Amino acid sequence: MIDATLVACPHCHALNRVPTARVGAAPACGKCHQPLFTGHPLALDAQSFDAHQARSGLPLLVDFWAPWCGPCRMMAPAFETAAAQLEPRMRLAKVDTEAQPALGQRFGIRSIPTLALFVGGRELARQPGALSAPDIVHWARQHLPG
């Protein structure tokens, strides 16, 4: 049996079974044929969130933010830089709590920006406040299991 990981497509959100050894080999989605990894964070809404958080086999690092938040806007380029360094080991995503208030409420987000790391559908760690790119990468890697 081949060791495989389920990867949600950042474009169409379809689940793809990717052999673990090929995750870093630029796999494409079987449904929309777009790259499964772009090196950029993706914006998630209530419909696409569960495909990436609960059903995908990749760890998911989420930046809960809002457009009116100064520290959120300051951290956005750092989160973009971190995505290029952390993919394909994990997926990075942004949730606009202004546009998606139900997701902010579901996870009890009290301050923004807040980073939350999910593995296997469970939240493993949370970090409120803006961080630099090296700090985001370090924080995410130190909280990954194994």
pLDDT tens track for 31-86: 999 999 999 999 999 999 999 999 999 999 999 999 999 999 999 999 999 999 99
Catalytic choice (9, 29, 32, 72): 72
Residue 71 lies in a domain: yes
- Give the mean pLDDT of 85-111: 96
Question: Model confidence at 24, in pLDDT bands (50, 70, 90)?
Answer: confident
* Catalytic status, residue 29: no
Q: Token match 């993919």: residue? A: 87
CA distance 129 to 21: 35
Residue 129 lies in a domain: yes
Number of domains in the chain: 1
Residue 28 lies in a domain: no
Task: State the CATH number of the domain containing residue 134.
Answer: 3.40.30.10
Residue 31 lies in a domain: no
Instruction: Give 97's DSSP letter.
Output: T
Catalytic choice (9, 29, 32, 69): 69
Question: Model confidence at 136, in pLDDT bands (50, 70, 90)?
Answer: very high
pLDDT of residue 1: 59
Question: Model confidence at 145, in pLDDT bands (50, 70, 90)?
Answer: confident
Residue 5 lies in a domain: no
Residue 62 lies in a domain: yes
pTM: 0.95
Instruction: Give 113's DSSP letter.
Output: S
Residue 123 lies in a domain: yes
Residue 9 lies in a domain: no
Angle formed by the axes of helices 133-143 and 70-86, nearest 10°: 60
Whether the per-residue pLDDT at 125 is higher than 90: the answer is yes
* Catalytic status, residue 69: yes
Whether the per-residue pLDDT at 2 is higher than 80: the answer is no
Structural domain boundaries enclosing 122: 39-143
Please, what is the average pLDDT of the chain? 95
pLDDT of residue 146: 72
CA distance 139 to 106: 23
> What sign has the CA pseudo-torsion 68, 114, 88, 32?
negative
